Amino acid sequence: MINRELIEVFSEIAREKNIDRTELGSIIEQLFLYIIEKQNGDSSNCSVIVNLDKGEIEIYSEKTIVDKVEEPHIEITLKEVLQKDPDLNDLQVGDPYVEVIEPTVFSRRIIAHAKQFFSQRIIDVERNYIYEDYANRVGEIVIGVVHQVQRENIFINIDHAELRMPRREQIPTERFRRGDTTRAVIKSVEITAKGPDIIVSRSDNHFLFKLFEMEVPEIEDGIIEITKIARHPGERAKIIVNSNDRRIDAVGACVGMRGSRIQAIVRELNNEKIDIVNFSERPEVLIARALSPAKPIELHIDDDRQYCVAIFDKDDLETAIGKGGVNINLASQLTEYRIDAYNAKEYETFLKNQEISLKSLPNFPKDAIQGLSEIYINNVAALLAANENKLLTADGVTEDSLEEIYNIVQSFIEVDNESDNSEDTEDNLTEENQE
């Protein structure tokens, strides 16, 4: 029998590590079986009973009574049995005997190993608790304290758990210091040899969705739905919202009184601009809204190809495209239409170039011209309108050469546009000089 003090030591460690009492009992059982195995090389004939309420641990070893002991951990003589318990004089050689093991039989060296085992099992159980907890919380926003900042990862602590935010999940414009408090969404949880790997994100679209859900009660209640999100973290985001109640304006609800709701989200995202787009089943309306803050003066939409040409005033074209093409790319992602933007003069040039024969394009692969002609593709317009799979059926056209063909066409159009723009500039200079 092992005294209550030992149980108290185990219990105190378990309380510090937030280990359940049932789990603690199981660990103690495994611990003493481990000690026995280290001592004897085998513990299959032993059992451990732990009673935490009474503060008792009982260890039993089932042995066979023999005339001569060859394996002490599983055999015992009748003489030894009677010395331990004289009342068992009806036992004979060959009968089983259950022996109570006293802790004093274990050496100090074995006890030291046992401490390591117990500590490791506590860590394993703690890791398992953390894994199960966070695996059930994927998609939730959590708040933690930055513990360590590395080049590729930021480590965030929440109680006993360590969460990792890789560089790809960070907002590029943000910088963290140790001790900073931050929010992030739990993206994934995996178990590894070093414990649970909990990945959190601030750049994921779902993080933006959860922020809106927190700030806009109508979204949490299901009155307003966010149907699509497109995001370039740190620069701009666009979302499509739809109201299930005609009395409630979806965009107005998301913006809030004097912009209070949207501003809270923008501040959380380090001043990332957010465009809120009201849903429409009409592609021309949805695309026009998605291109905000620019306003197209004309749209040419091909629904079959999911393609749109948007025409803008010259002064508005730069806004439509955005820095590095961010605005127009996000609008394309949001609407699932490929969008090309032109001013009126550029579009005229674009239409003119569409009628140009492929034979007249410089450096166009000659072996592809005949093959394309056989499938009725003879000019730039037909080439750009055709499906890639159709183009690849033409003799002399491969995936690599098709990429080259597109580049040749694009380069020709860009050069022609630059030529037209140069002429416009010269005309303007001439007018200014005349004035």
DSSP conformation letters of 34-99? HHHHHHHS--TTEEEEEETTTTEEEEEEEEEEESS-SSTTTEEEHHHHHHH-GGGTT--TT-EEEE
**CATH fold group of domain 355-434:** DNA polymerase; domain 1 (1.10.150)
Determine the Cα–Cα distance for residues 321 and 342; give it in Å rounded to an integer.
Answer: 9
Tally of residues, the chain = 435
Q: What is the pLDDT of residue 265?
A: 96
- Per run of 10 residues, the mean pLDDT along the chain (length 435 residues) is 60 73 82 82 87 80 90 89 85 89 65 73 86 94 96 93 95 94 96 92 97 95 96 96 94 94 95 96 95 94 88 92 93 93 82 78 85 88 81 89 84 65 49 46
Contact 162, 130 (CB under 8 A): no
Domain ranges of the chain: 4-131, 141-203, 205-279, 285-344, 355-434
* pLDDT tens figures, 238-274: 999 999 999 999 999 999 999 999 999 999 999 999 9
Q: What is the pLDDT of residue 111?
A: 63
Q: What is the CATH number of domain 4-131?
A: 3.30.1480
Q: How far is C-alpha 277 from the geometric centre of its chain's CA atoms?
A: 25
Same fold, 205-279 and 285-344: yes
Tell me how far CA of residue 108 lies from CA of 98, 114, 133, in angstroms. Answer: 25, 10, 38
| Helix intervals (H) in 336-398 | 344-354, 366-374, 380-385, 388-391
Contact 203, 165 (CB under 8 A): no
Q: What is the pLDDT of residue 160?
A: 84
The CATH superfamily assigned to 141-203 is Nucleic acid-binding proteins (2.40.50.140)
DSSP character for 214? H
Determine the Cα–Cα distance for residues 361 and 363; give it in Å rounded to an integer.
Answer: 6
Find residue 157's DSSP bridge partners.
Answer: 145, 162
Q: For tokens 């000690």, name the residue.
A: 35
Q: For tokens 């990332």, name the residue.
A: 272
Q: For tokens 């007018």, name the residue.
A: 431
Contact 338, 294 (CB under 8 A): no
Nearest partner of 330 among 275, 285, 254, judged by Cα: 275
User: Phi/psi at 178 (nearest 5 deg)?
Assistant: -55, 130
Q: What is the pLDDT of residue 432?
A: 46
The two tokens of residue 331 are 């609008």
* pLDDT tens figures, 36-95: 888 788 888 999 888 877 777 788 999 998 999 888 888 999 888 888 888 888 888 899
Q: What is the pLDDT of residue 1?
A: 41
Q: What is the pLDDT of residue 282?
A: 95
**CATH fold group of domain 285-344:** GMP Synthetase; Chain A, domain 3 (3.30.300)
Determine the Cα–Cα distance for residues 194 and 272; give it in Å rounded to an integer.
Answer: 36
Determine the Cα–Cα distance for residues 60 and 255; give it in Å rounded to an integer.
Answer: 70
Q: What is the pLDDT of residue 399?
A: 86
Q: What is the CATH number of domain 205-279?
A: 3.30.300.20
Q: What is the pTM of this model?
A: 0.70
Q: For tokens 């416009």, name the residue.
A: 424
Determine the Cα–Cα distance for residues 207 and 274; give it in Å rounded to an integer.
Answer: 13
